[in-house]
Amino acid sequence: MALGRHSAAWDISLWARRADAAEEAARVLPQCAVSTNLSEVVESCDLAVLCTSPHAIATAGPELKKLLPPSAIVTDAGSVKAKIVAALESVLGGRFVGAHPMAGSEQNGIQAAREDLFDGAVCILTPTASTDPSALEAVRALWSAAGCVLREMGASEHDRAIARISHLPHATAASLVHAAVGANPSLAELGGGGYRDSTRIAGGPESMWTEIFLDNREELLAGITDLQTALETLKLALQNGHRNALEAFLYDARRLRSQKPSTE
């Protein structure tokens, strides 16, 4: 949809596993060719973008190698990179370039799509020493055309960073729901903006997030350990009635939260 704003530059074909999903995509994106036949979609493509679950992306290499033209470039949108990059690069070589656009919400499916979804969003690319320079340039052009601001880092560095700023927040939101309303679900009816905002992402699809958590579990566990430390600090200040310690804890959080990320 984002690339559809540049229809003169991009000829887009989509693959969907289910017929009903393909029909829905065709209604929402009439300018695109849509099919449930993967071979039909990729047999003449120049650049393939994999947007399935992390496990499906990581295991797609052998089939793609059989179906894609030898010169076709491949990228993805998976949120855990080390396993995906290792798996696909071993099969596809330097024409695979890992990517992770930091966009989206707890919603899924074609109905959650919008053409400005990627505008201003960071897309992290994870090239390696084996990456073909022309493939990297093509993938840069793709995500830039979608509206993203590009960053590049190693796959393992990506997984450490994203565990903290994406996977840990989701785990925290899910835990907060359990702690807040698990014993009495009717309390959710009383929730205002604070509850809704802090737990929104817990509404994401559990099957996908289970894969993500397990694929990046070591980095996520490190983040959970630091979260437990922060909660213990807060708990201790409350137990002891230390106003200054509590105020310092909240001030530091507000200060850190207010820092604006650089987009240069």
Residues shown for the chain: 264
pLDDT tens readout for residues 160-171: 999 999 999 999
Mind giving me the DSSP string for 232-249?
Answer: HHHHHHHHHT-HHHHHHH
- Please give the model's pTM, rounded to 2 decimal places: 0.88
Residue 264 has pLDDT above 60, yes or no: no
3 state SS for 160-206: HHHHHHHHHHHHHHHHHHHHHHCCCHHHHHHCCHHHHHHHHHHHCCH
Query: What dihedral do alpha carbons 170, 171, 177, 180 form, nearest 10°?
Result: -120
What confidence score (pLDDT) does residue 161 get? 97
Domain borders along the chain are 3-153, 158-258
Would you place residue 112 in the very low, low, confident or very high pLDDT band (cuts 50, 70, 90)? low
Q: How far from 66 is each of 34, 62, 63, 91, CA to CA, in Å?
A: 20, 7, 5, 11
What are the residues whose beta carbons fall under 8 Å from the beta carbon of 33, sequence distance 6 or more? 12, 13, 14, 41
CA distance 215 to 95: 23
Residue 61 has pLDDT above 70, yes or no: yes
pLDDT tens readout for residues 3-50: 766 555 778 888 988 898 888 888 888 878 888 999 988 988 999 999
For domain 3-153, say whether CATH 3.40.50.300 is its number.
no
Would you place residue 142 in the very low, low, confident or very high pLDDT band (cuts 50, 70, 90)? very high
Q: Tokens 């001030």 — which residue?
A: 251
Q: Which CATH architecture has domain 158-258?
A: Orthogonal Bundle (1.10)
Sequence letter at residue 225: T
Select from 225, 224, 200, 220 the least CA-distant residue to 210.
Answer: 220
3 state SS for 51-88: CCCHHHHHCCHHHHHHHCCCCCEEEECCCCCHHHHHHH
pLDDT tens readout for residues 210-256: 999 999 999 999 999 999 999 999 999 999 999 999 999 999 999 99
Is residue 126 classed as helix, strand or coil in its secondary structure?
strand
Are 162 and 216 within 8 A, CB to CB?
yes
CA distance 155 to 216: 11
